[in-house]
Structure 1
Amino acid sequence: MRRISDNNLLNYYIKKHNIENLFDKEILNYAKLHFYEKEEYILEAEAKLEYYYLLVEGKIKVFYPFENGNSMLLKFYRDFNTIGDLELLKDIPILCNINAVEDTYLLAIPSDILRKEYFDNTKLLHHLIDSLSEKLYATINNISYNFVYPLINRLSSYLVEHITDKNYIILNSSYLEIAQFLGTTYRHLNRTLKEMESKSIIKCEDKRIYILDVERLKELSKNIYIKPL
């Protein structure tokens, strides 16, 4: 991790993500900019939360470690998001491992200062409630969907979330990452993509997926969309 002493860049991210609407100026006076290189750990489970983080550029991976050494991928986050909401509120050790999938910038605010001096701050509390509510909704939605529906429906839902006004989607995540996110294996994902190609729903060319039948894809998605990586 590198601390970036560039107030212009810090202010750029604050304005870009309208962070001044989330925190009072007194809190933002404590904010610093941290940079993590690709594959570098940001937080490790069981450690003390030193900073409340706001992801302002890059991509991170969140996974839950088990005692037997295995881990479960929970989520990928890209661009603006928050890290450490629950740990900050409950004052508990970090629950999950988080690392940078690509070079990542984080706005860091010391957690001890937030707890000791600003836990009666209405704007901060509203922000934490909103952030936790959104994460809870997305987690319940995605996990429930993964259990109930076959992969072809989950994958269709994931692709629908990426549709723009173009006739193709450029994936920002690897197929292995997408497989983990959808709760399946790389081989099963590959078979399902080929099945959808054989039905002329999509056409895959490396990281670009052409949508050949939008209506069929939306029908397969069941209108219950998996939140994207």
Structure 2
Amino acid sequence: MNINEVYKAINSNEQVRQLVKTAPLNIIERMQVKHFDAKQFVLYQGNSYQDTYILVEGRVKVFLNSPSGKQVVLDVYDSGMFLGEQEAIINRPYSASIINITPITVLVIRNRDFVEWSQKDHRFADRLIKNLSEQIYHLTNRMERYSMHSALQQIGLFLLQCDDEQVPITRELITYEVDTSYRNINRVLKRLADLNVIKINRSTIKITDYQTLQKIMETED
């Protein structure tokens, strides 16, 4: 692997650059850069892998599969996130599966190098602890939403969040954020559209009545 390609990937993203800023040179020299088309990067729950990854560009979905085939999305990671860091540190099989939902670029680090890096680079270790804490916090909030809210409330909360953050809303995005089937998502969206709360175009969804959506969520059992 050309070391210049590694540095190019590192410097292409400010979050990644800050993560690797104080990494030992011998660790950086053994890193690799890999590119994957959408849905070509898959790590399976229950399997063990020899590498840890830093997501340089793109998005991946972290999910669980039940024996019955039901899928529960735990999170969607953007650039700057680690993949497999927990498993590398405790030397365990993957607790969830991962698949890329867009084309991605990753930095590949051998597990033993990742562990050595975390032991030698105290700044990096502090950053790693912060990242893991944020993941746990976010996962707790997501599990609360899954267990305590109906499908309509989950979808409504996500629609309102996207509207507040001015994020374009698509059906695909919704499937990553709610614990229900695609069929049920379509049923809820149709109900909201029939009530003139949202407008569904071919690829995007827009809130047309913010206050009524909030009221529906508050009165939903």
The CA deviation at 1:61 is 2.1
Check conservation: 1:53, 1:108, Cα contact below 8 A.
Answer: yes
SS class of match (1:105): strand
1:13-48 CA-partner distances (Å, limit 9, x unpaired):
534233232231424444321112222243233433
SS in structure 2 opposite 1:18? Answer: helix
Q: Which residue of 1 aligns with 2:133?
A: 133
Residue type of the alignment partner of 1:20:
R
The runs of 5 or more residues in structure 1 that have no matched partner are 223-229
**8 Å CA contact retained: 2:76, 2:176:** no
Between the aligned partners of 2:29 and 2:123, the Cα distance in structure 1 is: 15
The one-letter code sitting in structure 1 at the alignment partner of 2:72 is L
Residue 104 and residue 15 in structure 1: after superposition, are their counterparts in 2 closer, same or farther (change >3 A)? closer
Gaps of at least 5 residues in structure 2 are none
Query: 3-state DSSP class of the match of 1:109?
Result: strand
Residue 163 of structure 1 aligns to a residue whose secondary structure is helix
Letter paired with 1:103: P
Contact 1:59–1:100 (CA under 8 A) maintained in structure 2: yes
State the AA in 2 paired with 1:73.
V
Q: RMSD value over aligned CA atoms?
A: 2.9
Q: Is contact 1:160–1:221 with CA below 8 Å preserved after alignment?
A: no
Question: Would you say 1:189 and 2:202 are equivalent positions?
Answer: no
What is the CA-CA distance between 1:219 and the residue it aligns to?
A: 5.5
Q: Give a deviation string over 1:63-82, Cα, whole Å, max 9, x none.
A: 2245x473533233233322
Higher helix share: 2
CA contact (8 A) 2:35 2:106 kept: yes
Partner in structure 2 of residue 104 of structure 1: 104
Per the TM alignment, residue 158 of structure 1 is displaced from its structure 2 partner at its CA by 0.9
Show the 5 A alignment for 1:116-155: 116=116, 118-155=118-155
The alpha-carbon distance between structure 1 residues 48 and 132, as it changes in their structure 2 partners (threshold 3 A), is same
Q: Give the share of equivalent positions with the same residue, in percent.
A: 19
| Alignment check: 8 A CA contact 1:10 1:33 kept | no
1:209 equivalent to 2:205? Answer yes
Preserved CA contact (<8 Å) 1:170 1:207: no
Q: Is residue 2:10 matched to residue 1:7?
A: no
Greater mean alpha carbon deviation, residues 28-37 or residues 129-138: 28-37
Contact 1:58 1:78 in 2 (8 A): yes
- State TM-score, norm by structure 1: 0.78
Structure-2 residue corresponding to 1:60: 60
Normalising by structure 2, we get a TM-score of 0.80
Residues 63 and 96 of structure 1 are in contact (CA less than 8 Å); yes or no, is this contact kept in structure 2?
yes
1:38 corresponding residue in structure 2:
38
In 2, Cα distance between equivalents of 1:212 and 1:92: 47
- Mapped partners of 2:211, 2:122: distance in 1: 45
Match of 2:168 in 1: 170
